[in-house]
């Protein structure tokens, strides 16, 4: 899952225009991308993938985007789909896609356990 330095820099620059508190971490040869505490995107093989769920997946499949499969075409399909290059290259078009992916990550985040002194 190598990621070229140029592609990583380009993607992070585009994403910084679309969301705040962005940070990236090396991850199994790729790059994991967070908005705050929410892991909403990844880069692998110079392809940007956004986190999807049942609500957002149809937008990607209608455009023929493929899921992230870290173990090859016959391997497990992850809940991340390719972002269209035309969207990635257009900062204005990218914003709602980022907002959707961050919202998916928020919905998928585990709810903290309730303990003494904690309320929901």
Span 75-99, pLDDT tens digits: 888 999 999 999 999 999 999 999 9
Sign, CA torsion 38/44/48/51 = negative
The rounded mean pLDDT for the chain is 90
Q: What is the pLDDT of residue 98?
A: 97
Give which of 42, 75, 13 is closest to 34, Cα–Cα.
42
Q: What is the pLDDT of residue 76?
A: 87
Q: What is the pLDDT of residue 20?
A: 87
Q: Which long-range contacts (CB under 8 A, 24 or more apart) does 103-110 make?
A: 104/40, 104/50, 104/51, 104/52, 104/53, 104/55, 104/56, 105/35, 105/38, 105/39, 105/40, 105/51, 106/38, 107/53, 108/51, 108/53, 108/79, 109/37, 109/38
pLDDT (tens, 9 = 90+) of the chain, 120 residues, equals 679 999 999 999 999 999 989 999 998 889 999 999 999 999 999 999 999 999 999 999 999 999 999 878 888 889 999 999 999 999 999 999 999 999 999 999 886 666 565 555
Q: What is the pLDDT of residue 56?
A: 97
């Amino acid at each position: 899952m190598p990621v070229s330095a140029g592609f990583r820099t380009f993607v992070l620059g585009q994403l910084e225009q679309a969301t705040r508190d962005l940070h990236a971490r090396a991850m199994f040869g790729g790059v994991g991308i967070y908005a705050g505490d929410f892991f909403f995107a990844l880069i692998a093989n110079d392809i940007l993938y956004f986190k999807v769920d049942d609500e957002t997946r149809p937008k990607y499949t209608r455009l023929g985007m493929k899921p992230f499969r870290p173990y090859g075409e016959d391997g497990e399909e992850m809940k991340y789909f390719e972002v269209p290059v035309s969207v990635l290259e257009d900062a204005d078009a990218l914003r709602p896609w980022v907002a959707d992916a961050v919202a998916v990550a928020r919905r998928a985040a585990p709810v903290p356990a309730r303990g003494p002194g904690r309320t929901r």
